[in-house]
Structure 1
Amino acid sequence: MPVVTYDVADRIARITLNRPEVMNAINDELPVELAAAVARADADPEVHVIVLSGAGRAFCSGYDLTFYAEGNGAGQATQDMPWDPIRDYSFMWRNTQHFMALWRAMKPVVCKVHGFAVAGGSDIALCADLTIMAEEAEIGYMPARVWGCPTTAMWVYRLGAERAKRMLFTGDRITGREAADIGLVLKAVPAAELDDEVEQLAARMASVPINQLAMQKMVINQAIEATGLMQTQRLATIFDGITRHSPEGIHFKDRAESVGWKQAVRERDSGTWDWTRNEPLPRRNR
């Protein structure tokens, strides 16, 4: 079964992340198939707009931690020491560029978020041109607390420095409603209205000639790229590897192996564990 599905109708290409049994968690194949689907839509003269969504209960729950942390696939999340930073960087940079296929496509991409777009899933959602969320859906980059740095760096380009710091200094998740209020995403609507909202916007844009859409997107993206987007992403990708091999990153992995990933993630996200000492945090510091 493909981990990304593709369909075209009425000038709109619909790309769907298709690992619903794990809330579309990212494995080796998903970034590759996502980029291939985007390239297919970009090359199709009948397609004017791309809509990206996720099958099942959520858009994307991030990287498949169990798959990677156990050393499966091409990108072992934490290597045995001494680690090879270039091996790590090469893997994560490839994935970052696969996600950025959404940004580089000549045609506009609308991302539809229900359930969750968290961790690496937020990287994907924020590479789209326009993101619309269900009001109660959640977005955030919790690994900013330990074991991650968002490699696409789209938080700062969408929010500005201070609000990006608020999100990445805490690793908090926020609802679609708050994400729209602070300008992280275009709009949030009740879940029952999400499909119609996205389809109406995509249909409106699909009535515009492809060349007009492409020129507007290229001009706007160039304004962002001129600020040094690629250099920022390279630094973020290097730091992402470091976070997983820092003392705290190693402690997080050790803790996960001891008590299980779900508990380790709960301790990380709730702020109840001291990752420097690898012990519970005193209550006064929580």
Structure 2
Amino acid sequence: MAKVSFEKDGRIGRITLNRPDVMNAIDDDLPRELSEAVARADADPEIHVMVLSGNGPAFCAGYDLTHYAEGNGTNEVTQEMPWDPVRDYQFMWANTQHFMSLFRALKPVICKVHGFAVAGGSDIALCADLVIMAEDAEIGYMPARVWGCPTTAMWVYRIGPEKAKRMMFTGDRITGREAADMGLVLKAVPAADLDAEVEALAGRMATVPVNQLAMHKMVINQAIEQAGITSTQRLATIFDGITRHSPEGLNFKARSEDVGWKQAVRERDQGTFDWTKNRPINGPEG
């Protein structure tokens, strides 16, 4: 079964992350299938706008930590030492470019977020042109606490340095309502109204000629490109690899293998584990 599905619906190209049993968590295949679906919609002259969504209870819960952190899948994300940074960079840079296909497509992309768009899932959502969230949905980049650096770096381009630092220095999740108030996303609406809100915007945009939409998108994106987004993303992708192979990152990986990623993530997000000393904070070993 495809991990990203595509459907043409008149002038709208519908792209859906399709791993609902794991909240559309990112594995080796999903980024590539995403960019392939974007390319398919972009190449169709009858499609004016894309709508990106997630099947099941969430938009995207980030990278599949059962696959990567617990050691059950490939070792592309955390390698055996000595670490090969170039191999790591090639893997993560390819994923970043797949996510950025949303940004670089000539046609506009609306991202519809319900449930969660967290960690790598926030990378995907924030590469879209417009994001509409359910008010009770949550977005954040929790691996900023340990074992991650957002490779697309879209936080700073959307909300500026101070608010981006607030999110990265804490790794907090915020609701759709908070994200809209912060200016991170276009709008937040009650969950019951999310589909209708996205459809209304997509329908309105779909009445505009494709060439008009493409020109406006290119002009606005050029301003972001002039601000150095490619250089920022290269640095972020290098740093992401370092975070997973730092002493703290390796301790997180080992902890995930020992107690399971759910407990390791809970300790990370609640701040109850000292990743430098590799022991609980104020626990029996503290």
Give the structure-2-normalised TM-score.
0.97
Q: Which runs of 5+ in 2 are unaligned?
A: none
Q: How many Å separate the matches in 1 of 2:228 and 2:9? A: 36
AA partner of residue 111 (structure 2): C
Aligned to 1:79: 79
Alignment of 1:1-286 (within 5 A): 1-69=1-69, 70=71, 72-73=73-74, 76-282=76-282
Any conservation in 1 of the 2:50–2:107 contact (CA below 8 Å)?
A: yes
Q: How many Å separate the matches in 2 of 1:218 and 1:145? A: 34
Q: How many Å separate the matches in 2 of 1:52 and 1:5? A: 10
| Count of residues in correspondence between the two structures | 282
Q: How many Å separate the matches in 2 of 1:28 and 1:251? A: 23
Any conservation in 2 of the 1:126–1:154 contact (CA below 8 Å)?
A: yes
Give the C-alpha shift of residue 10 in structure 1.
Answer: 2.5
Q: Secondary structure at the match of 1:15?
A: strand
Q: Answer with 258-267 or 91-100: which moved more.
A: 258-267
AA partner of residue 17 (structure 1): L
AA partner of residue 137 (structure 2): A
AA partner of residue 73 (structure 2): N
Q: How many Å separate the matches in 1 of 2:196 and 2:240? A: 37
Q: Secondary structure at the match of 2:143?
A: helix
Write out per-residue CA displacement over residues 94-153 of structure 1, whole angstroms, 9 at most, x where no aligned residue: 000000000000000000000000000000000000000000000000000000000000
Q: Secondary structure at the match of 2:199?
A: helix
Q: How many Å separate the matches in 2 of 1:242 and 1:71? A: 21
Give the C-alpha shift of residue 76 in structure 1.
Answer: 2.2
Residues 35 and 112 of structure 1: CA distance in aligned 2, closer, same or farther (over 3 Å): same
Q: Secondary structure at the match of 1:188?
A: strand
Q: How many Å separate the matches in 2 of 1:139 and 1:189? A: 14
Q: How many Å separate the matches in 2 of 1:78 and 1:3? A: 23
Give the C-alpha shift of residue 71 in structure 1.
Answer: 5.6
Q: How many Å separate the matches in 1 of 2:278 and 2:34? A: 37
Give the structure-1-normalised TM-score.
0.97
Any conservation in 1 of the 2:76–2:91 contact (CA below 8 Å)?
A: no
Percentage of identical aligned residues: 76
Q: Secondary structure at the match of 1:63?
A: coil
Q: Secondary structure at the match of 2:50?
A: strand
Q: Secondary structure at the match of 2:88?
A: helix
Q: Secondary structure at the match of 1:66?
A: coil
Q: How many Å separate the matches in 1 of 2:120 and 2:162? A: 21
| Moved beyond 6 Å, runs of 4+ | none
Any conservation in 2 of the 1:179–1:185 contact (CA below 8 Å)?
A: yes
Q: How many Å separate the matches in 2 of 1:201 and 1:261? A: 38
Q: Secondary structure at the match of 2:132?
A: strand
Q: Secondary structure at the match of 1:72?
A: coil
AA partner of residue 237 (structure 2): T
Q: How many Å separate the matches in 2 of 1:135 and 1:242? A: 34
Write out per-residue CA displacement over residues 159-181 of structure 1, whole angstroms, 9 at most, x where no aligned residue: 10000000000000000000000
Any conservation in 2 of the 1:111–1:128 contact (CA below 8 Å)?
A: yes
Any conservation in 1 of the 2:272–2:281 contact (CA below 8 Å)?
A: yes
Give the C-alpha shift of residue 7 in structure 1.
Answer: 0.7
Q: Answer with 64-73 or 103-112: which moved more.
A: 64-73
